[in-house]
Amino acid sequence: MNPLYGQMPVSIFERMSLAAARHGAVNLGQGFPDFGWPEAVVEAAARFLREASNQYAPSRGLPALREAVAAHYGRQHGSELGADHVVVTSGATEALAAAILALVEPGDEVIVMTPAYDAYMPLIRRAGGVVREVALRPPEWRVGADALRSVVSARTRAIVFNNPHNPTGRLFEREELEAVAAVAREHDLLVISDEVWEHVLLDGAEFVPLAALPGMAGRVLKCGSAGKIFSLTGWKVGWLVADPELASVVARAHQFLTFATPPNLQAAVALGMSEGDEWLPAMRERFTRARDQTVRGLEQAGYRLLPSAATYFQCVDLPASGIALDDERFAALAVERAGVAVIPLSPFFEEAPVRSMIRLCFAKRDETLDAGLAALARARTLAAGG
């Protein structure tokens, strides 16, 4: 048995979702929406299932989707990309895995900013890499060049950067992007930039891709997700975008992971992306409305919140809300006694975890949110002073 996986705990998302099912609780933990997908894209997938190929797609992805992804970023960011910059993967997590396995050699060090998506560190270690953690701290969760420089060594190979940021809901400012870019340029580092939440922007916020900064286009490997763009997370259609030489190296790792992604789903995503970006304003408005509904309900119940500028996640400060329990104990109380599943933030760290925060997902229908918010009000009553 590989000790890396044999000793690894079940992911916090799986653990809390299983608890939600066991206790019949509202699941505001795992981050998937129950609304918002464009019906035309779903209908196209069903049509392609019957009318188009159901055999292996080209490993790098259908040309139509690779071209559509390149064109999309041209419209959105003015990026000069072609299909040779794009590798289609089975979800953005596979894009991350392929990039890490392709580029990280045994003994290489990789910087990860925590709290971090829980796949980063196991993937780095599976490639033989060494994780160097830089912990961001609430309530600002800011990243600075000095903190990054403090962990750089002669063996540092790459930085994993996530913007917009899961689990905090932060959209990093230009100054912070410049800090990451400066360290990468100074030390000739690659940056695996997890940008899957790039379109889930609230309050009119604007996203700047890291590759757009000076000197970064040739060293950034961007991971994107149709699942996040179209609210179709179960389709597991993602991509990696990079300089063609880097993309080709990652494609060689990808061919020995999933090899290819379902062609009918790729074709449907290509159709949706090729028809323009008209879905984006409505999607953002709907998520903003759900965020606002969540904020109102939580504040009325006495909770104190951190700002959420992007993603569909809201962080709650337990001590400021009058709750003495740590995040794990509160999450257990909430699901077992109040009927709502949330996510504690401490599992997103390895060193000196923050134990005073929980995260919940607001990408839910109004009735689901109302039920979850009522349950969270009960949870606070049960936990306050506990």
Distance CA 193, CA 111 (A): 12
pLDDT recorded at residue 10 = 81
pLDDT recorded at residue 178 = 98
Q: What is the pLDDT of residues 329-359, one digit of tens each?
A: 999 999 999 999 999 999 999 999 999 999 9
pLDDT recorded at residue 5 = 59
Token duo for residue 117: 């998506």
pLDDT over 80 at 144, yes or no: yes
Residue type, 280: L
Q: Phi first, then psi: give them for residue 239, nearest 5 degrees.
A: -160, 160
Token duo for residue 287: 């998520």
SS3 string, the chain, reads CCHHHHCCCCCHHHHHHHHHHHHCCEECCCCCCCCCCCHHHHHHHHHHHHHCCCCCCCCCCCHHHHHHHHHHHHHHHCCCCCHHHEEEECCHHHHHHHHHHHHCCCCCEEEEEECCCCCHHHHHHHCCCEEEEEECCCCCCCCCHHHHHCCCCCCEEEEEEECCCCCCCCCCCHHHHHHHHHHHHHCCCEEEEECCCCCCECCCCCCCCHHHCCCCCCCEEEEEEHHHHCCCHHHCCEEEECCHHHHHHHHHHHCCCCCCCCHHHHHHHHHHHHCCCCHHHHHHHHHHHHHHHHHHHHHHCCCEECCCCECCEEEEECHHHCECCCHHHHHHHHHHHHCEECEECHHHCCCCCCCCEEEEECCCCHHHHHHHHHHHHHHHHHHECC
Q: Please identify which residue in the block is written with the tokens 């891709």.
A: 209
Question: What are the residue ranges of CATH 3.90.1150.10 in the chain?
Answer: 3-30+279-383
Distance CA 181, CA 184 (A): 5
For residue 2, name the pLDDT band (cuts at 50, 70, 90).
low
- The CA-atom distances, in angstroms, between 244 and each of 72, 159, 241, 284 are 17, 20, 8, 31
Collect all residues with Cβ–Cβ distance below 8 Å to 382 and sequence separation of at least 6: 333, 337, 338
pLDDT recorded at residue 307 = 96
- Share above pLDDT 70 across residues of the chain, in percent, rounded to a whole number: 97
Distance CA 329, CA 320 (A): 16
Query: Is residue 327 within 8 Å of residue 346, measured between CB atoms?
Result: yes
For residue 7, name the pLDDT band (cuts at 50, 70, 90).
low
Taking the CA of residue 258 as centre, how many other CA atoms within 13 Å lie in the half-sphere pointing to its CB? 24
CA angle 259, 265, 270 (to 5 degrees): 100
User: Which letter, b or e, does each residue of 176-212 get, where b requires 16 or more Cβ atoms within 10 Å of its Cβ?
Assistant: bbebbbebbeebebbbbbbbbbbbbbbeeeebebbbb
Q: What is the pLDDT of residues 86-117, one digit of tens each?
A: 999 999 999 999 999 999 999 999 999 999 99
Lowest-confidence pick of 272-276, 286-290, 359-363, 382-386: 382-386
**pTM for this model (two decimals):** 0.95
Whether cis (ω within 30° of 0) applies to the bond prior to 344 is: no
pLDDT over 90 at 296, yes or no: yes
Q: Supply the mean pLDDT for the chain.
A: 95
Count of residues for the chain? 386
Average of per-residue pLDDT across 164-185: 98
pLDDT recorded at residue 37 = 87
The dihedral sign for the CA sequence 60, 62, 64, 68: negative
- Share above pLDDT 90 across residues of the chain, in percent, rounded to a whole number: 91
pLDDT over 90 at 158, yes or no: yes
pLDDT recorded at residue 272 = 94
Distance CA 253, CA 251 (A): 5
pLDDT over 80 at 276, yes or no: no
pLDDT over 80 at 233, yes or no: yes
Pairing of the two strands 190-194 and 156-162:
parallel
Average of per-residue pLDDT across 219-243: 96
pLDDT over 60 at 1, yes or no: no
Q: Please identify which residue in the block is written with the tokens 């159901």.
A: 54
Distance CA 89, CA 112 (A): 22
Question: What are the residue ranges of CATH 3.40.640.10 in the chain?
Answer: 39-274
Angle of helix 279-300 versus helix 366-383 axis, rounded to 10: 30
User: What is the dotted CATH code of the domain comprising 3-30+279-383?
Assistant: 3.90.1150.10
The region that residue 339 occupies, defined by phi over 0 for left and psi between -120 and 50 for alpha, beta otherwise, is left
pLDDT over 90 at 181, yes or no: yes
User: What is the dotted CATH code of the domain comprising 39-274?
Assistant: 3.40.640.10
